Amino acid sequence: MQLRTKVRTIAEMLINRRGQVCFLDVLLQLGWVHQRNVDRWQRGELDPLATAVSVDDDKLLEAVEAFRLWGGQRFMSKTDPHRSATRDRRALRFTADRDTRWVHLSFTKIGLDRTKLDTKVPDLVVVEARDEFECEECGQADEWLMVDAGSAICMSCADLDHLVFLKAGNATLSRRARKESSLTAIAVRPDPGRGGRSWRLGMLVEPDALERAEQQCFDDEELRARRRIKDAAHRELWDENFTRQFTTEIRLLFPKIPAERAEAIARHTAVRGSGRVGRSAAGRSLDERAVRHAVVASVRHEDTDYDALLMKGVPRQEARDQIWRRIDEVLTSWS
């Protein structure tokens, strides 16, 4: 009963948010499988998915049944198999030998345009061959490889050797080349230091498609340059307004804070692309906790010896425990 309640709660939340939910979405929300293992499964590096799921097949199928009963006749449903990101686009398996069609079940709200909501077939993915690599089918070396049913094969054996590499970095060119090319593959570089995740390097596209995309970019470069200047001006204006609003919120929370200090904190935390709290959703909405967090962070670094403690090798949490009393004193003096 507890599992059924969890499944129904998750499914209801997802379908209300997106209009569609599949059993794989529920598995991810339950925490039974990590997204990086789902990505490996789709790339053909993992089969079946159950080898990376934290519960046994019985529990997995119990959740499937709970999901099926939850949807019932309330929504449009389909059981089209999940497809791999390999050259054969084969149907993916959840379990080794106990799959039913319900493991691929998805529900969509009645009345919504299903064509816009359905999960698309995953992109083909090729991996940079950084070490010595020989194709397991032909024995030849290549700079790219594709994992297919556990085997590493070259671009020729994957029927992708006619494609050319387009480096990431030019979003307009990449978007247009992808649109023009009838066959594309995402190129990635695995990074063991990031928990098995990968860096996206670019994509492989058809040579003619790349030429057409480059010509399109050349034809309207002047127009796009003017648009970039205009957009930059709008962003600068928005940032200035946001900094003023953030400064105001700081001074409402801490009325005695020096005006120049409040502005300095606001400018620091709101730098575009910094990843600081001012650029978070809570920061942009001027949430009180986000504003307070920004002030505390500033005090920690500017008004305590926290940084010096870290440089001496004091563990982060221990250093924070040592300087918290000083932070409290400063915040109290500003309140």
Amino acid symbol at 42: Q
Of 43, 4, 45, nearest to 26 (Cα)?
A: 4
Structure tokens at 163: 């494609």
Domain residue extents for the chain:
2-116, 124-219, 222-334
DSSP assigned state of 196: T
Cα separation, 202 vs 166, whole angstroms: 6
Q: Is 22 exposed, middle or buried (0-12, 13-18, 19+ CB in 10 A)?
A: buried
pLDDT of residue 136: 85
> pLDDT category, 45, cuts 50, 70, 90?
confident
CB 163 within 8 A of CB 142: no
DSSP assigned state of 119: P
- Reading across the β-sheet that carries 185-190, which strands appear in turn? 151-153, 144-148, 124-128, 185-190, 198-205, 164-167
In this predicted model, what pLDDT tens digit does every residue of 93-139 receive, in sequence order?
Answer: 999 999 999 999 999 987 765 554 455 677 888 888 877 788 888 88
In this predicted model, what pLDDT tens digit does every residue of 258-271 receive, in sequence order?
Answer: 999 999 999 998 88
Structure tokens at 186: 């995402």
**Strand-pair partners of 147:** 152
Cα separation, 311 vs 42, whole angstroms: 44
